[in-house]
Amino acid sequence: EDKVVQSPLSLVVHEGDTVTLNCSYEVTNFRSLLWYKQEKKAPTFLFMLTSSGIEKKSGRLSSILDKKELFSILNITATQTGDSAVYLCALHSGAGSYQLTFGKGTKLSVIP
Amino acid sequence: EAQVTQNPRYLITVTGKKLTVTCSQNMNHEYMSWYRQDPGLGLRQIYYSMNVEVTDKGDVPEGYKVSRKEKRNFPLILESPSPNQTSLYFCASSLSRFTANTGELFFGEGSRLTVL
């Protein structure tokens, strides 16, 4: 059973739209939740979230974690074609573990 | 330029023919890791290393070996490849086990391996 579930699996939007990507998880005791962007090559780090309710922001991207409801969202405002990518959510389980558990990703396609 | 370099980037091989995928980083990172990425399954960790001569299994270690004789290199060895090891492989590194804990990983460009 998947520990990290992302939704939707894919999404097509028009430039300028705002999108919300979801990541839910089962583990209640964890160290951090991370978001990565993967274009055609390697994943690149976007955000690390450790505390509930504190928004992380970088330009048009923002993310927040809800530890009570066990989910995180990644928001992208005023989308551009360059935002087209697979967005990966990953969970770092906790002390003594150096493993990241990734979700299957959300494929975002932004069309002009 | 700070980077994680994998070789080969593309390889087609046959069942049973031993192969090694090399990974090298020039950032003096302590932590290195290998992942495989398959459609519908996402990224799964194969092995990781917290420092020289320290390696440990990830989620899917079967059929793979690794070694960490030097800090900069972390090769992935497939002693007897099988078709179910056809995948896209990523090497990643992080400054220390502490930053690895926070998931601040630097990924290589990936190696696409096909086993016939």
How many other C-beta atoms lie within 10 A of the C-beta of residue B44?
18
B95 part of contact set with chain A, CB < 8 Å:
no
pLDDT of residue A31: 76
A14 part of contact set with chain B, CB < 8 Å:
no
Q: How remote is the C-alpha of B4 from its chain's centroid?
A: 11
pLDDT higher than 70, residue A97:
no
pLDDT of residue A29: 74
Tens digits of per-residue pLDDT, B12-70?
Answer: 999 999 999 999 999 999 999 999 999 888 899 999 998 999 999 988 999 999 999 99
For residue A49, the SS3 value is: strand
CB B89 within 8 A of CB B77: no
Tens digits of per-residue pLDDT, A77-95?
Answer: 999 999 999 999 998 866 5
Q: DSSP string of A71-108?
A: EEEEEE-S--GGG-EEEEEEEE--TT---EEE---EEE
pLDDT higher than 90, residue A109:
yes
pLDDT class of B98 with cuts at 50, 70, 90: low
B35, closest residue in chain A (CA to CA): A100
pLDDT class of B97 with cuts at 50, 70, 90: low
Suggest the residue from A31, A44, A99 to mutate for an interface test with chain B (most B CBs closer than 10 A).
Answer: A99
Suggest the residue from B32, B105, B111 to mutate for an interface test with chain A (most A CBs closer than 10 A).
Answer: B105
Residue with the two structure tokens 């399954």: B41
C-alpha span between B70 and B60 (Å, rounded): 24
Percent of chain A with pLDDT over 90: 59
B34 part of contact set with chain A, CB < 8 Å:
no
pLDDT of residue B59: 87
A65 part of contact set with chain B, CB < 8 Å:
no
A90 part of contact set with chain B, CB < 8 Å:
yes
pLDDT higher than 80, residue A98:
no
Tokens of A35: 């978001």
pLDDT of residue A91: 86
pLDDT higher than 70, residue A2:
no
pLDDT higher than 60, residue A1:
no
pLDDT higher than 80, residue B102:
no
Give the torsion sign (CA, B51, B57, B58, B64).
Answer: positive
Distant-in-sequence, close-in-space partners of A92: CB < 8 Å, separation ≥ 6: A30, A31, A32, A33, A34, A99, A100, B101, B102, B103
Look at A30 and B9; give whichever has higher pLDDT. Answer: B9
